[in-house]
Amino acid sequence: MTFPRSLCALLLSFQLPVASGTAAPAAPQASSSERLKWFTDARFGMFIHWGIYAVPAGVWNGRSIAPKQGGEWILKLLNIPIADYKGFGKDFTAAKYDPAAWARLAKEAGMKYVVITAKHHDGLALYDSAASDWNVVQATAAKRDLIAPLEKAVRAEGLKFGLYYSQSQDWTNPGGGIYGNGPTWDPAQRGDYDAYLQKVAAPQIEEILTRYHPDIIWWDTPVSMNPARVKPFADLLAKLSPEIISNNRLGSGFKGDTKTPEQHIPARGYPGELFEVCMTMNDTWGFKTRDENWKSVRVLLRNLSDIASKGGNFLLNVGPNAEGEIPAASVERLQAMGRWMKVNGEAIYGTEAGPFPRRLEWGRATQKRNASGGVTLYLHVWDWPEDGRILLPTLKETPTAGRVLATGEKVTSASTAEGLVVTLPKTAPDPDVSIVALEFSGPLTVTQEALVSPGPDGRIALTALDADASGSLGGNIKVEGRGVDAFLTQWTDPAWRLDYRVKTPAAHAWTVLAEVATADPVQLTLDVKKVVTPVAVAATGGPGAWKTVELGRIDLPAGETGFSIVPVKEGWKGSLSLRRVWLTPRP
């Protein structure tokens, strides 16, 4: 995980042409709601990145990898000679490895499944592989299979078990792929790629499928995997594990069951498709001694809430050290999340995406249908209102009952012209995310338009909540503040952008205004279907010094359309914050 940002798009979209006469590979057994039900009900899982990279822990020969780079990439990032890297094996002891404690922690956190790295890009198998002696039993001080006891412990806790496998990239076994088809840096890496796939990768997949019978196979990465190379792996799945759930990173022509956005939450999810957001608690997947940039419990809970509200799963990572200890900061956060889940888990497990097509000012929503045709609507209140009232826009039905999950306090509601107004108790039971459950006797009717359209004055008014922040494997632009005063900030990467979707009654020319705050002059572009308009924004005085500026003029066609605000990479300092955007029709 954690790839160089300049090549992120290449990695996730890389496809080689299909050779003439080569059929696309077959997927495992056709997806069915029954096969996938446990996964869609689970919503929350633990990712574990553990390997020999935990020994250097981000530092080698006095050289450190960059703060945002994953510790599991140290071999590639610092081009460590293979013999030197293998030398770390004597210190990879797993002496304090307690698989039962790991499984208990996952269950305590409210997680329903665990996925661990059977082999990462450095090629070390965490079990005794007959296909390569570069494995934990033969090449490290641990001298034992580390997968089998965890699989047993996880299942003993009633959880599902999954395995991550890097099929394409392997920086140590001869012939294994190098990211982006880059050059080898050690003669020991040289070899034939197809021979590596046939003699190491495919046999190891057969080993892990037959030994551990995983419920999930988590491929990584698809680079250089054309359909002909994918087919043997797909055939193994179909033959040995037809019920297995597979992600979309095997290679060209293989869709899998789940999309895998990494380190960022897709703005609108993937309606009609399964997806699983994988994310770290700090800035690394594999253990790094110098990474203390931990996400708060609030951020992690709101990420879980946000992902569930879009119908997705949250796969949250821990990176144990070389002795097998999960960092205390990770344990503390997981235990806190578990306390929240014990009270509010019914708003996460087995739920569907909320019915509202646009983001809500006060939080998120999920829903659950019951056998009698009724619906429970769960309101995930992030910002408890001072007046005790929240609006469910254009919701027509009135609930038969409502309560706060944490306290059992009843809530009341009333239908208005704008929608259903729910009156809450004076204080929030949880400072991070409070859940209110509303019971309805039948399906819900929400008539809100998914896209913003012109108001009575002819202008299109867009808030921070109307922006689709398009991030990358490195993260995303953050939303801070409350309701209509929320603003977009921490725009640290010029590869990120803001996309706005609107609905216009007729083709028109518009002037684009924005409320911005920035300590530095900023260069942007307005992008409408690749028609690019450069924009220069002067410094406003720093964070909180809001100023309304004209960004430029754009032409939009009638109907559902949109535009993007894109940084100019050269000189980008990441100080820009943006609150509101207005489109004013030009005469």
State pLDDT tens for residues 96-143: 999 999 999 999 999 999 999 999 999 999 999 999 999 999 999 999
Higher-pLDDT residue of 311, 474: 311
pTM greater than 0.95 (yes/no): no
Instruction: Over range 482-507, report the average pLDDT.
Output: 93
| 106 and 192 share one domain | yes
Q: Is the residue at 428 inside a domain?
A: yes
DSSP 3-state of 305: helix
pLDDT for 383 beyond 70: yes
Among 324, 342, 374, which residue terminates a domain?
324
Q: pLDDT tens digits, residue range 3-30?
A: 544 344 334 433 333 333 334 444 444 4
Residue 503 C-beta-side C-alpha neighbours within 13 Å: 7
Instruction: Over range 28-42, report the average pLDDT.
Output: 79
| 397 and 464 share one domain | no
| 77 and 143 share one domain | yes
Average pLDDT, the chain: 93
Query: Does the CA dihedral 560-565-569-570 come out positive or negative?
Result: positive
For residue 134, give every residue at least 6 positions away whose Cβ sits within 8 Å of its Cβ, in sequence order, or none.
86, 123, 124, 125, 172, 173
AA identity, residue 82: I
Q: Is the residue at 285 inside a domain?
A: yes
What confidence tier does 331 reach under pLDDT thresholds 50, 70, 90?
A: very high
Structural domain harbouring 397: 352-440
Q: Is the residue at 250 inside a domain?
A: yes
Note the pLDDT of residue 472: 84
| 92 and 160 share one domain | yes
| 402 and 537 share one domain | no
| 533 and 571 share one domain | yes
Q: Is the residue at 3 inside a domain?
A: no
Q: CA-CA distance, 415 to 422, in Å (whole number)? A: 9
The span from the first CA to the last CA of the chain, in angstroms, equals 51
pLDDT for 31 beyond 80: no
CATH number at residue 531: 2.60.120.260
Q: CA-CA distance, 49 to 1, in Å (whole number)? A: 9
| 97 and 189 share one domain | yes
Note the pLDDT of residue 181: 74
- Contact (CB, 8 A) for 447 and 441: no
Distances (CA, A) of 400 to 189, 438, 579: 66, 8, 38
CATH number at residue 135: 3.20.20.80
Q: pLDDT tens digits, residue range 416-457?
A: 999 999 999 999 999 999 999 999 999 999 999 999 999 999
Residue 137 CA from chain centroid, whole number? 33
Among 324, 342, 373, which residue terminates a domain?
324
pLDDT for 54 beyond 70: yes
Q: Is the residue at 17 inside a domain?
A: no
Note the pLDDT of residue 108: 98
Note the pLDDT of residue 29: 45
DSSP 3-state of 308: helix
What confidence tier does 484 reach under pLDDT thresholds 50, 70, 90?
A: confident
Note the pLDDT of residue 8: 41
| 270 and 154 share one domain | yes
| 96 and 158 share one domain | yes
Number of separate domains in the chain: 3
CATH number at residue 428: 2.60.40.1180
Q: Is the residue at 491 inside a domain?
A: yes
Among 274, 309, 324, which residue terminates a domain?
324
The 8-class DSSP code of residue 392 comes to E
Q: Is the residue at 261 inside a domain?
A: yes
| 563 and 496 share one domain | yes
| 287 and 383 share one domain | no
Burial class of 242 by CB neighbour count within 10 A (0 to 12, 13 to 18, 19+): exposed
Q: Is the residue at 332 inside a domain?
A: no
Quote the radius of gyration of the chain (alpha carbons, Å). 25
- Contact (CB, 8 A) for 4 and 223: no
Instruction: Over range 378-404, report the average pLDDT.
Output: 97
| 377 and 486 share one domain | no
pLDDT for 532 beyond 90: yes
Note the pLDDT of residue 33: 81
